[in-house]
Amino acid sequence: MSRLIYLDNNATTQPLPQVVDAMLPFLRDSYANPSSVHRFGQRIRHEIDLAREKVASLIGAKPREVIFTSGGTESINLAIRGLLRALPNKRHVITSAVEHSAVRKVCERLRDEGYEIDELGVDHEGSLDSAELEGKLRNDTALVTLMHANNETGMLFHVKEAAELCKCHGVALHVDAVQAVGKMPLDITSLPLAVMSLSAHKFHGPKGIGALYIRRRTRIEPLIVGGSQERNTRGGTENVAGIVGMGTAAEAILGRDPGEVDRVRALRDRLEAGILAAVPIARVNGGGDRVCNTTNIGFSGLQAEAILMLLSEAGICASSGSACSSGSLEPSHVLKAMGVKERVAHGAIRFSLSHLNTQDEVDHVVEVMPNLVSRLSSLSREQ
Contacts with ligand PLP, residue ranges (CB under 6 A): 71-73, 100, 102, 147, 151, 176, 178-179, 199, 201, 210
In whole angstroms, the minimum distance from the beta carbon of 374 to ligand PLP comes to 32
Nearest CB to ligand PLP, comparing residues 141 and 179? 179
d(CA 213, CA 221): 14
Q: Please, what is the minimum distance in Å from the beta carbon of residue 153 to ligand PLP?
A: 11
Sequence-distant (6+) residues with CB within 8 A of 206 are 15, 19, 23, 200, 241, 242, 245, 246, 249
How far is it, in rounded angstroms, from Cα 312 to Cα 5? 9
Q: How far is the CB of 103 from ligand PLP (least distance, A)?
A: 7
- Residue 372 CB, nearest distance to ligand PLP (Å)? 26
Distances (CA, A) of 352 to 47, 117, 179, 271: 32, 31, 11, 10
Looking at beta carbons only, is 103 or 369 nearer to ligand PLP?
A: 103
Among the listed residues 25, 28, 41, the one whose alpha carbon sits nearest the alpha carbon of residue 229? 41
Cβ proximity of 134 and 168 under 8 Å: no
Minimum distance from residue 197 beta carbon to ligand PLP (Å): 7
Of 166 and 212, which has the nearer Cβ to ligand PLP? 212
- Distance in Å, CB of 25 to ligand PLP, minimum: 24
Query: What number of other Cβ atoms are within 10 A of residue 184's Cβ?
Result: 17
Specify the 3-state DSSP secondary structure of 325: coil
**Apex 70 CA angle, 64 and 71, nearest 5:** 90
CB of 250 to ligand PLP, least distance (A): 15
The DSSP annotation for 225-252 comes to: -SS-HHHHTS-S---HHHHHHHHHHHHH
Nearest one of 164, 99, 110, 176 to 142, comparing CA atoms: 110
For residue 92, the SS3 value is strand
Between the two ends of the chain, the Cα-to-Cα distance in Å is 31
Catalytic residues: 324
Least Cβ distance, residue 50 to ligand PLP (angstroms): 22
Q: Please list the residues that pair with 149 across neighbouring strands.
A: 156
Specify the length of the chain in residues: 383
Q: Quick one: 187 exposed, middle or buried, by C-beta within 10 A (0-12, 13-18, 19+)?
A: exposed
Query: Are 299 and 375 within 8 A, CB to CB?
Result: no
What is the β-pairing status of strands 195-199 and 282-284? Answer: unpaired
Using the Cα atoms of residue 70, residue 73, residue 75 and residue 81 in order, give the sign of their dihedral.
negative
